[in-house]
Structure 1
Amino acid sequence: MKKLISIFTLVFALCSIAFTSPAAAAEVANGAKIFSANCAACHAGGNNVIMANKNLKKEALAEYGMNSVAAITTQVTNGKNAMPAFGGRLSAAQIQDVATYVLAQSEKGW
């Protein structure tokens, strides 16, 4: 019985990795293209040319409550202060992809 549970757990883990990673990789790759075309003018390298302290680095995202895909998605969609809203220019899927990319890059240190 223990062997059967171990095999089931292993198969489940392998399936999770096999079916999750390519989608996440595709989101990040697509997000990189969207970021380059729409965000890099103000946020190149994770910086912020308008408000230097509100950059896209891991520490700043955490400080301002932007350290989740959901929070970044809301910010990109609706804009705030000097940042324009992209909800009318980008699809929900594109915004999700760019948010995933931003969070992944912040984890890597840009």
Structure 2
Amino acid sequence: MRWVWTGVAVGVSVLGAGAILAQTELNQTSGEKIFKANCAACHAGGNNIVEPEKTLKKEALARFGMDSQGAIIKQVTGGKNAMPAFGGELSTEEIRQVASYVLEMADQDWQK
């Protein structure tokens, strides 16, 4: 009986991990879709067509103090200089998903 109980517990743990992984993948996919629909015109591949030195690459994000989710959320929500504000167009959750996506892609040097 103990073996069966352990098997059930392991099965539940695996299912729980699968649900968490599925939710993470959903968020990443959502962040990517939102980014492509709203940001990629200027930031495709992590670049910046308006101010080329201010890319979304890891080094540039660090240099300009944009290497945290909070900083990116603030920038996307309120805009700055040539970048428009998206706070009126995207929900708080959508902006959070975009910030997560940007940081993830910066860690991967925008190679996916």
Compute the displacement of 1:22 (Å). Answer: 3.3
Unaligned runs of 5+ in 2: 1-9
Q: Which runs of 4+ in 1 moved over 4 A?
A: none
1:28-39 equivalent positions in 2, closer than 5 A: 28-39=28-39
The match for 2:59 is 59
Report the equivalent of 2:95.
95
Tell me the secondary structure at the aligned position of residue 60 of structure 2: helix
Q: Secondary structure at the match of 2:90?
A: coil
CA offset digits 1:65-104 (Å, max 9, x no partner): 1111111111000001110000000000100001100000
The TM-score, its normalising length taken from structure 2, stands at: 0.79
| Residues paired across the two proteins, number | 97
Name the CA distance, whole Å, in 2 between partners of 1:27 and 1:88: 21
Which residue does 2:3 correspond to in 1? none
Structure 1 SS opposite 2:87: coil
Q: Normalising by structure 1, what TM-score?
A: 0.81
Partner of 1:42: 42
How far did 1:20 drift?
A: 4.4
- Structure 1: 5+ residue runs without aligned partners? 1-10
Return the structure number with greater relative CO, CA threshold 8 A, min gap 6: 1
Percentage of pairs with the same residue: 55
- Provide the C-alpha distance between the structure 1 equivalents of 2:52 and 2:41, rounded to a whole number of angstroms: 14
**Which structure has the bigger radius of gyration?**
2
Tell me the distance in 2 between the aligned counterparts of 1:102 and 1:26. 15
Aligned to 1:5: none
Corresponding residue of 1:85: 85
